[in-house]
Amino acid sequence: MNEGSLVRATLKALFLPRRLLPIVLVCAPMVAAQVRFSDGEPMAGPLGLLLCVLCITVAPVSYRVLFPEGLDLSHGGIRLVLYATVGAGVVLTGGAALPRVLDLGPTFLTDRYSLAVCAGLFLVGGWGLGRDIGFEETLARERARAARLEVEAEQAQLLALRSHLDPHFLFNTLNAIAEWCQTDGAVAEAAVLRLSSMLRGVLAGVRAATWPLERELELVRTLFELHLLRDPDLFQLHVEVEPGLEAFPVPPLVLLPLAENAVKHGPAAGHRGPLRLSVRAHEDTLVFSLENPGASQGPRAGSSGLPTVERRLALTYPGQARLVLSSDAGRTRVTVTLPRARPAAGLVT
């Protein structure tokens, strides 16, 4: 917010009833005392009203200009001196210089002790009103941000559900199960149980804010097992998880689309070889790495797998998580780095 907008917003906020009423309740007795104890000076009332208006308008504006939100307080002392200087200047101009120019007699508020009180009220009142207005604006922005995140989370939820229920994968699996029902009932039963387990896991994950890493890996393993049921020689799976990380909370379904992509663009596309999934802790981050045979051609137009993961990471770890896709020596690796801080809850409901 630039200074012009800040000044207008502050003055507008001062006229809201919840602030204007207390301001009137404080200023009215001061103006009444100014009239009552100023020995009949006819300009005492207008002068007292002017002092109140100057303090009420200039103090919170100057405070908010000199102490904006997010300020690095390394230079706070200088700004405090400037704020005090502004207060002294306003009070002395309205309570000392102006009466002298107009040749007014002594009044209650222009007494030097009263002026000291007015200066204190300027500093304290400006601080209180300025911070109150600033907090109110911050709260309004956070509420708007929360509402926006809620909408984005709903969109991410729908994207996640659509991404993780790949119709081609489901149709192919169901067709394979239909064939196994005629040729190998045991394999068909195993496939139905695994598919049912995966679908339950997907639906549970879409509705959850976080879940343990162990559940995420279980879902990924089930996906790989379904592929291997259809073709046991499709790939060799190697999973390495650093001990002690199984209970770590992670965003649900963050690895599943990566696993789908690894099979779809690797072994299922004719690039036979091992799939390697590793999870390890590195300093204050958690690093997931999934490697598949076949060189990456980069994100494909219209694909939703990687964009969905990136969007969900941005919602859950604003500016803290990373997803990197790389290709080397005929293999593709996708690496997801998460902060070890607990994911933001409530983004997906």
Average pLDDT, the chain: 85
- Residues 62, 174 within the same domain: no
- Domain of 286, CATH number, reads 3.30.565.10
- Residues 85, 176 within the same domain: no
Is beta strand 285-293 parallel, antiparallel or unpaired with respect to 331-339?
Answer: antiparallel
Per-residue pLDDT band for 346 (boundaries 50, 70, 90) equals very low
- Residues 50, 141 within the same domain: yes
Is beta strand 235-241 parallel, antiparallel or unpaired with respect to 273-282?
Answer: parallel
Domain end point (choices 145, 180, 206) = 145
Find, among 313, 312, 306, the residue nearest to 338 by Cα. 313
- Residues 308, 215 within the same domain: yes
- Residues 56, 194 within the same domain: no
- Residues 332, 193 within the same domain: yes
Does residue 153 lie in a domain region?
A: no
**pLDDT surpassing 70 at residue 164:** no
- Residues 208, 331 within the same domain: yes
Are 48 and 34 contacting, i.e. CB atoms less than 8 angstroms apart?
Answer: yes
- Residues 313, 183 within the same domain: yes
Domain end point (choices 96, 114, 145) = 145
Does residue 18 lie in a domain region?
A: yes
Does residue 222 lie in a domain region?
A: yes
Does residue 191 lie in a domain region?
A: yes
Per-residue pLDDT band for 184 (boundaries 50, 70, 90) equals confident
Given this model, what pLDDT does residue 321 score?
92
Is beta strand 249-250 parallel, antiparallel or unpaired with respect to 211-212?
Answer: antiparallel
Given this model, what pLDDT does residue 49 score?
94
**pLDDT surpassing 60 at residue 158:** no
Amino acid at 287: V
Domain end point (choices 83, 115, 145) = 145
For 21-72, write each residue's pLDDT tens digit: 999 999 999 999 999 999 888 999 999 999 999 999 999 999 999 888 766 6
For 121-154, write each residue's pLDDT tens digit: 999 999 999 999 999 998 998 998 888 877 676 6
- Residues 125, 181 within the same domain: no
Per-residue pLDDT band for 83 (boundaries 50, 70, 90) equals very high
Question: Strand pairing partners for 237?
Answer: 275
- Residues 176, 325 within the same domain: yes
Please provide residue 345's backbone torsions phi and psi, each rounded to the nearest 5 degrees.
-85, 155
Does residue 347 lie in a domain region?
A: no
Domain ranges, residue 93: 3-145
- Residues 325, 192 within the same domain: yes
- Residues 136, 181 within the same domain: no
Find, among 260, 1, 285, the residue nearest to 134 by Cα. 1
Are 86 and 58 contacting, i.e. CB atoms less than 8 angstroms apart?
Answer: yes
Does residue 105 lie in a domain region?
A: yes
Given this model, what pLDDT does residue 334 score?
95
**pLDDT surpassing 80 at residue 155:** no
Number of domains within the chain: 2
CA–CA–CA angle 129, 132, 135 (5° rounding): 150
State pTM to two decimals: 0.54
Does residue 160 lie in a domain region?
A: no
Does residue 76 lie in a domain region?
A: yes
Given this model, what pLDDT does residue 274 score?
94
Question: CA torsion angle for 218, 219, 221, 222 (degrees, to 10)?
Answer: 120
Are 213 and 247 contacting, i.e. CB atoms less than 8 angstroms apart?
Answer: yes
Token pair of 210 as six digits: 């976080």
